[in-house]
Amino acid sequence: MAPPISANGNRSENGKPRLDSQYACFALKLAPSRIHRWGVYAAEFIPARRKVIEYTGEKISRRETKLRAESSDMIYLFTLDPYWTIDGSVGGSGAEYINHSCDPNLVARIIRGHILYMSLRDIRRGEELTVDYHFDKKVERVSCSCGAAKCRGTINVLD
């Protein structure tokens, strides 16, 4: 499973990233991140083992996924299954701005064709939401800047 990888993400009319609260189960906010550009933050306490937000966007084929991945540096593609990918830059919920961490507080679950981010533990108000992207070890190595004590130095899976 490979999360976010698209052009410019969802933006409001003023050009800033946006969250679509209809897909979020808790109050969330977008703000600059020390990990990478923008991040999603808990605006309230989130208990463990709860659905936090759904990763939404345009459903595209593997062929279209390859075209979009090659056309931009900033991409928000999440592999849904062997044929379909969700492009969060088109109709995304804002979950596309959740950054990678080697010690995440969220996990992605695919349930009946929906990509759900679930809390792994209690998340404090103000804490940045993170997920382990698990990029394949066979693809180009991507450096990690999560800052976690358990950081493996790459977004790619090592074993």
Task: Record the pTM.
Answer: 0.86
Q: 5 or 77: whose pLDDT is higher? A: 77
Banded model confidence at residue 11, pLDDT cuts 50, 70, 90: low
Range 68-97 average pLDDT = 89
CATH class of 21-131: mainly beta
Beta strands in 21-136 (DSSP E): 28-32, 38-42, 51-55, 58-61, 77-79, 84-87, 99-100, 106-111, 114-119, 130-131
With DSSP H G I counted as helix, E B as strand and the rest as coil, what are the percentages for the chain, rounded to 5? 10, 35, 60
Domain boundaries, the chain: 21-131
- How high is the pLDDT of residue 14? 55
Q: Across the chain, what does the average pLDDT equal?
A: 88
Whether the Cβ atoms of residue 53 and residue 24 lie closer than 8 Å to each other: yes
Burial label for 51, CB within 10 Å (0-12, 13-18, 19+), is: middle
Q: 110 or 69: whose pLDDT is higher? A: 110
